[in-house]
């Protein structure tokens, strides 16, 4: 699903805090490097409860940065809701591939 515009949810209207800005820069850099822009972005959000900034991709991978740290990749099992964290995009994609084969 392509959109003409995206909204970043959960950011303060008073401005972006340092860690939020750092996290956004890291998840966008990872998105550019890992997908080369070939995966559609569904959502971009900051979760103030966890401190995680993330980009949710249409393929089921979330690229996350907590408090501006290096990115991790999150895949949620659609059947069980179980979340699995990965160090690389390729590991996350492999996990999704295995999930889809089991269905």
| This prediction's pTM | 0.88
Q: How far apart are CA 53 and CA 33, in angstroms?
A: 17
Q: What is the pLDDT of residue 26?
A: 96
CB 57 within 8 A of CB 40: yes
> How high is the pLDDT of residue 12?
72
Question: Do the strands 83-86 and 72-76 form a parallel or antiparallel pair, or are they unpaired?
Answer: antiparallel
pLDDT greater at residue 101 or residue 43: 43
At 3 the pLDDT is 58
- Extents of the domains making up the chain: 8-102
Distance CA 42, CA 75 (A): 14
Q: Distance (Å, rounded) from C-alpha 55 to C-alpha 62? A: 5
Q: What is the pLDDT of residue 48?
A: 82
The pLDDT tens digits of the residues spanning 52-100 come to: 999 999 999 999 999 999 999 999 988 888 999 999 999 999 999 888 7
Share of the chain above pLDDT 90, in %: 61
């Amino acid at each position: 699903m392509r959109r003409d515009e995206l909204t970043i949810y959960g950011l303060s209207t008073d401005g972006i805090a340092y860690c939020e800005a750092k996290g956004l820069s890291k998840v966008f850099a990872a998105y550019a490097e890992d997908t080369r822009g070939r995966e559609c972005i569904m959502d971009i959000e900051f979760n103030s409860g966890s401190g995680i900034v993330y980009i949710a991709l249409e393929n089921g991978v979330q690229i996350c940065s907590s408090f501006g740290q290096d990115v991790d990749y999150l895949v949620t099992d659609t059947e069980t809701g179980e979340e699995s964290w990965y160090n690389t995009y390729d590991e996350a994609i492999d996990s999704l591939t295995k999930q889809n084969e089991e269905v």
